[in-house]
Amino acid sequence: MKLKRHLLTAALTLFCLSAANAQLLRTTVEQGEIEGVEHEGFALYKGIPYAEAPVGNLRWKAPVSKKPWKGVFKADKWGDRPPQPIDPNQNGGELGMSEDCLYLSVETPAKSKNDKLPVFVMIHGGAFLTGSYSGTQESFVKEGIIYCSIEYRLGAFGFMAHPELSKESGKNISGNYGILDQVMALKWIHDNIAAFGGDPDKITIAGESAGGISVSILCASPLAKGLFRGAISESGSSFWPVGESRNGNTAMLTTKAAEAGGLLLQKKLKAKNLKQLRKVPAMDIVKNTAFESFWPNVDGYSITDDQYKLYEKGSYNDVNVIIGTNSDEGSMFSRPVSVSDYERRIHEIYGSWADQVLSLYPAKTEEETYFAQSDIFRDGSFAWGTYAWANLQSKTGKGKVYMYYFDQDSENTIVKSRKGGASHVAEMPFIYGYKFGSGKMTETEQHMEQIMSRYWINFTKTGNPNGDSLPFWTTYQEGKPTVMIMKEGLHLGPVQNQKQMDFFEKFFKEKRK
C-alpha cells in the first residue's frame, strides 16, 4: 500500500512539474494550426509567413495576406534573408537569400493562451539594405515577455519608386513596400499574438538605426494606428523636411522625386519596361543597387507628410517612447578627406549655411575632417531628429518621452570610437547582451548593462522604464536636465551638443519654407 502511495505521489509530482513547464509548442492562428520548437526552455516559432511570397507579379506590390494553409505548419526554420549585398546580423550568414522573405518569429514563455503577456517586436536595422530578422532574446523572454522579430523587403525590392509602379498602384504611389510589410507584420502579430499567450494591447515596437527610423515612421503612420502601445527608437528618427533631393541626409523625398531612382535602375539593367524589370534575377538587381539608393519616401499614404509637421499638429500615434542616440554615431559612416574636399562638400550641401557648419565643425587636418564629418552625421542624421521628436511630442502629445544619450567607450562594440565615445550600435550590447569582438566589459559596464536592459524590460511591461533600485529616469522636458546620460554609470543631464541642435533646428526650419 505504501509503495502504491509513493508511486502515485511521484506520478502526481511529475504531472505537476510537466504542467508547470508546459510550453505552447502548438497553437492555432488565423491561417491554421502551427507548430514551433523548444528553445532554451521556451516555445520558438522561427519562420511564420505573414504574407504571400512577393515574387513574380507580386514583386513591387503591397504585401498580400497569407492564405490559410492545410494541416499543421511547422515553423521550425528561419525564413530566408531578403536579397542583399551583405549581412551584418547575428546568425544571418547561415541563412539563404530569396525574395520569399516575409516571415516573422515568436518566442514565448507562456504556459497558456490566457497568460496575456506583454510583447516586444524588434525591427532590424541595416540602412534599409541589409539585415535579417533571425535571432532570439532569452533575456527578455525569461522576464515574461514574448519576443517577436519581423522581416521586410530591403533595397530596391522594398523601396524602389517608379512611374509605372505609381500608375499601376491605383493611388499614384510607389516605393515603401518595406514599410507596408512592417505594417502587415504588426497587424498579424496584433491579431494573432493571443494564440501565443500574448496581450494585443501590450505591444511595444523597437528598432535600431533603420529599424529606429522605421519605428519613427510607424509612430506617424495612420496605417499603424492601434497596433502598438509603446515604441523604442535607438539611433533613428524620420523628421527631415520633404524635398527633391536627399543631399547628405537633409531631406525625405517625395514619391515623384524617388521615381528617378527607379528609372536609373531600369536604365542600368537595360530593361525596357516594368514587365521586364520584374523578370530580372534578384541578385542582378542587388549588384546594381548602391548604398542608400532606395529609401522610404513621402507618398501621402503610409508616410503622409513631413513628420515634423505631423507632430506639430498632433497627428501621430501618441504612445510612450524611449528614444536616444550615441555620442559618436557618425564614425561608422565617415572617412577622412582633404580639408579642401571637406569644405567643398559642406558648401555643396549647406549652401548659405556652410560657414556656420564649418564654424561648429572645424577641421584643419585630414584627421579632423573625419571627426567633423562624423559629428555632422551624428547630429544631422541621428541626434537632431531625436531632439525634435522629444520636443514635439512633449508639447503636443500625452505619451511620455524618455530620452537618453549613450556615451560609453566600451571594448564590446562593432567599431571602436577613435576619439573616445560610443559609435553606432554601441548601446545594443548593454540592452540585449550582444557580444562584439572580445565582448569584454568592465565591472561598471556590466552594472550598466543590468540597469539598461532592465529599463527596456520594464518599459515593455508597463510603459515606464523605472523600477525598484534603478536610477530614476524622469520624462523629458525641453531645457531641463531630463536626458539619461549613459557614461561610466547613469545620470540625468541636459541635451548634449545643444549649439549643434539649435543650428539644425534653424537649418531644417528654413528648408521647410
Helix (H, G, I), strand (E, B) or coil at 407: coil
Task: Enumerate the H helices of 353-422 as residue ranges.
Answer: 354-360, 366-377, 384-396
* Contacts of residue 17, Cβ cutoff 8 Å, sequence gap at least 6: none
Per the CB < 8 A criterion, the answer to whether 218 and 224 are in contact is yes
- Cell 521615381 found at: 259
Calpha distance 474→470 (Å, rounded): 12
Q: Can you say how many angstroms the Cα of residue 175 is from the centroid of all Cα atoms in its chain?
A: 18
Amino acid identity, position 334: S
Active site residue 139: no
Calpha distance 371→420 (Å, rounded): 11
Dihedral sign (CA 173, 174, 175, 181):
positive
DSSP 495: P
Residues 213, 410, 324: CA angle, nearest 5 degrees = 25
Question: Helix, strand, coil % (nearest 5) of the chain?
Answer: 40, 15, 45
Calpha distance 149→346 (Å, rounded): 39
DSSP 63: -
Amino acid identity, position 200: P
H/E stretch holding 169 reads: helix 163-169
Strand segments, DSSP code E, in 21-101 are 26-29, 32-35, 37-39, 42-49, 72-74
Lookup: cell for 266: 531600369
* Catalytic-labelled residue, pool 174, 209, 374, 417: 209
Calpha distance 390→133 (Å, rounded): 28
Per the CB < 8 A criterion, the answer to whether 281 and 270 are in contact is no
Neighbours of 280 (CB within 10 A): 17
Per-residue burial over 71-90, b if 16 or more Cβ lie within 10 Å, else e, is eebebeebbbbbbbeebbbe
Calpha distance 37→414 (Å, rounded): 31
Amino acid identity, position 183: V
H/E stretch holding 207 reads: strand 198-208
Instruction: Supply the residues annotated as catalytic.
Output: 209
